[in-house]
Amino acid sequence: MSLEPSLTISGLQVCFDTPAGKVRALDDVSFSVGQGEIVAIVGESGSGKSVTALSILKLIDMPPGRFEGGEIRLADHDILSMSEHELVKIRGSAAAMLFQNPRGSLDPSFTIQSTIEETLARHQPELSSTDVANFVEQCLRQVGFHDWQRVAASYPHQLSGGMCQRVAMAVALACKPRLLIADEPTTALDVGVQAKVLYQLRMLNREQGLPIILITHDFGVVRAIGQRVIVMYAGQIQEEGSVDEVLKKPMHPYTQALIRSVPEGAVSGEVLYQIPGTPPDLIDPPPACRFADRCEAVMSVCRRVAPQVTTVAEGRRVRCHLYEQPETANEMESVQ
């Protein structure tokens, strides 16, 4: 089903200047998020997931970060052309961010009620004190707090990690954003609390049609609530498709290796699969395929020519020479 895009990213390039050289964190990243979609972005640490999330609201520290090319359109906003003053007005309303460390994202000197009230005062100053009080209750109930008065009167250190994550979600939702970006929302939470957080995200999506970008390294999280998945490696998108299609029949050798490395059904004493080698240095990335040195299906063309993103079916894209032209499959060879 074709959905009107809430977010469109085209050819995004982000780099960071370091003493050792320029780190090419994102290279030619393009995707869109439709209304009511949950899109998961998955990959190893350093693949560019969080940089992608931060770029959407231009939260990259500049310097050392720089946008070298591309476009980000969030609803009717051209993000990369906006000034910091203009961005402050839309952060929280056009899109809201749920960060990895929920306790760290909350001011320890403010009660939860004061935090939500401050957010509303910045973005909706026309609200009366009665409306603000009602909003605080509504926001906390919305994320599953039945004892919302106790939570509202608490400071972050008085709440558990899972409660802080749901409070951060309530703060993010206070201004009714048109897009929610959740960056590793279940990190450091136990399994039971993870399930509650994911349930709340899924309910928000179903009941409000809220589009969500979910950043994760966990395929279990992707399977639990994702509808479409984007697989990133070394700053590039390697594969994209519906969650069911990608998990059942991964096409890119990197996606196949990632799924093989998930320890599902492992037995005691069994050696778990791990992807050989290490990710490339993004200061001096390989000129051709960035996964070639670790790929079990590498061909000679992979070391000579950079693969382009190929649309292999509706909603299914992959960056691999195996799918560009049928004849390239004849070049299959072993890694030397």
User: Does residue 128 register a pLDDT over 60?
Assistant: yes
Predicted confidence at residue 135, as pLDDT, reads 87
Predicted confidence at residue 328, as pLDDT, reads 44
In angstroms, the CA 42 to CA 250 distance is 13
**Residue 176 and residue 139 in contact, taking contact as beta carbons nearer than 8 Å:** no
User: Which range scores top for mean pLDDT: 104-118, 211-225, 238-252?
Assistant: 238-252
Residue type, 313: A
* Close Cβ partners of 321 (under 8 Å, ≥ 6 residues apart): 289, 299, 301, 302, 305, 307, 328, 331
Q: What percent of the chain is predicted at pLDDT more than 90?
A: 56
Residue 228, classified by CB atoms within 10 Å of its CB into exposed (0-12), middle (13-18) or buried (19+), is buried
Predicted confidence at residue 153, as pLDDT, reads 95
Strands 212-216 and 38-42: parallel
User: Does residue 15 register a pLDDT over 80?
Assistant: yes
**Residue 33 and residue 39 in contact, taking contact as beta carbons nearer than 8 Å:** yes
Region of residue 57 (phi > 0: left; psi between -120 and 50: alpha; otherwise: beta): alpha
User: Does residue 265 register a pLDDT over 70?
Assistant: no
User: Does residue 269 register a pLDDT over 80?
Assistant: no
Mean pLDDT of the chain: 88
Give me the long-range contacts of 86-89 (CB less than 8 A, separation at least 24).
87/57, 87/58, 89/123
User: Which range scores top for mean pLDDT: 94-98, 174-178, 263-267?
Assistant: 94-98
User: Which range scores top for mean pLDDT: 156-170, 258-272, 287-301?
Assistant: 287-301
* Close Cβ partners of 225 (under 8 Å, ≥ 6 residues apart): 38, 40, 198, 201, 202, 205, 214
Predicted confidence band at 334 (pLDDT cuts at 50, 70, 90)? very low
- Triad 94, 317, 60: Cα angle to 5°: 35
User: Does residue 327 register a pLDDT over 50?
Assistant: no
Predicted confidence at residue 185, as pLDDT, reads 84
Domain topology for 5-95+177-263+273-283: Rossmann fold (3.40.50)
User: Does residue 1 register a pLDDT over 60?
Assistant: no
Predicted confidence at residue 181, as pLDDT, reads 94
Domain with CATH 3.40.50.300 in the chain: 5-95+177-263+273-283
* Close Cβ partners of 58 (under 8 Å, ≥ 6 residues apart): 67, 72, 79, 80, 82, 87
Question: Region 253-275: what's the mean pLDDT?
Answer: 82
Predicted confidence at residue 33, as pLDDT, reads 95
In angstroms, the CA 15 to CA 24 distance is 4
Edge to edge, what strands does the sheet with 21-34 contain?
Answer: 21-34, 5-18, 65-74, 77-78
pLDDT in tens, 53-98: 999 999 998 889 999 999 999 988 999 999 999 998 888 888 998 8
Predicted confidence at residue 267, as pLDDT, reads 64
Predicted confidence at residue 211, as pLDDT, reads 94
Predicted confidence band at 243 (pLDDT cuts at 50, 70, 90)? very high
**Residue 16 and residue 61 in contact, taking contact as beta carbons nearer than 8 Å:** no
**Residue 34 and residue 4 in contact, taking contact as beta carbons nearer than 8 Å:** yes
Q: Which of 29, 16, 13, 12 is nearest to 65 (CA)?
A: 16
Residue type, 245: E
pLDDT in tens, 213-241: 999 988 888 998 999 999 999 999 999 99
Predicted confidence at residue 330, as pLDDT, reads 44
User: Does residue 313 register a pLDDT over 80?
Assistant: yes
Tell me the three state secondary structure of residue 89: helix
Q: What percent of the chain is predicted at pLDDT more than 70?
A: 94
Q: Which of 9, 5, 7 is nearest to 70 (CA)?
A: 9
In angstroms, the CA 235 to CA 26 distance is 4
Structure letter (DSSP) for residue 24? E
In angstroms, the CA 37 to CA 136 distance is 26
